[in-house]
Amino acid sequence: MILGIIEYRFAQLSKHRQQHILRVAEMMTQLAMIHSLSVESGRLAAMGHDLARELSRDALMAEAKRLGLEPSLPEKNEPVLLHGPVAALWLEEKNVGGPDVWEAIRYHTTAAPRLSALAKALFIADGIEPGRQFEGRVGLERAAKEKSLDEAYILMLKETVKYLKSRGLKPHPLMIEALEVSDNAV
Ligand SMILES: [Fe+2]
Ligand SMILES: [Fe+2]
């Protein structure tokens, strides 16, 4: 049997990661239906988003190079940040999904200013899938289902920045920019 890129990479992940991905796919299906997005694109983006998450730092850097990605300074310091961009290019290389799916996967960790609705939904779904355990999770899930995607996205961005700061980590410049743009829009 010939496996597609998603099945092939998915099979190599730990059970724990596979289960996270499946929960994100379920959450994306729900968000896509509520917010009138393509369920098919939503599921593809979710299934693809963490396919490179278990590569070592060296393997991520090597894959980035092979795929023609130029790592920025934060990515050189923290190669795990490349797992979204690398996975997006894996799908693009095999022509699985389309630009909306690749964009969503590429920015699912850092977010970015002016993302598409699908990409905002993936950023949210990744953060609120029920396997995540943090105090505000249920409230964020409710916001994502009852409010607009934009409102939920801003709340998720703020929650992520709060979490990163609590761990002494700096948010990625794209995330800071995403928040600035969102704040101006509200
Ligand atoms: Fe991820
Ligand atoms: Fe994830």
Q: Which pTM was predicted?
A: 0.96
Distance 107 CA to ligand 1 centre (A): 9
Is the pLDDT at 124 greater than 60? The verdict is yes
d(CA 121, CA 29): 10
Among left, alpha and beta (phi > 0; psi -120 to 50; other), residue 96 is beta
Counting ligands in written order, the one closest to the CA of 52 is 1
Residue 186, pLDDT score = 53
CATH code of 52's domain: 1.10.3210.10
pLDDT tens track for 108-122: 999 999 999 999 999
Number of domains, the chain: 1
- The whole-chain average pLDDT of the chain stands at 96
Residue 142, pLDDT score = 98
Under the banding of pLDDT at 50, 70 and 90, the label for residue 182 is: confident
pLDDT tens track for 3-27: 799 999 999 999 999 999 999 999 9
**3-11: long-range pairs with CB below 8 Å, 24+:** 4/94, 4/96, 5/51, 5/90, 5/91, 5/93, 5/94, 5/96, 6/44, 6/47, 6/48, 6/51, 6/91, 6/96, 9/51, 9/52, 9/87, 9/90, 10/47, 10/51
Can you give the length of the chain in residues? 186
Distance 8 CA to ligand 1 centre (A): 18
Distance 179 CA to ligand 2 centre (A): 20
Residue 183, pLDDT score = 72
* Residue 98 domain boundaries: 5-185
pLDDT tens track for 31-79: 999 999 999 999 999 999 999 999 999 999 999 999 999 999 999 999 9
Distance 138 CA to ligand 1 centre (A): 20
Distance 125 CA to ligand 2 centre (A): 9
Residue 2, pLDDT score = 61
Under the banding of pLDDT at 50, 70 and 90, the label for residue 157 is: very high
Distance 57 CA to ligand 1 centre (A): 14
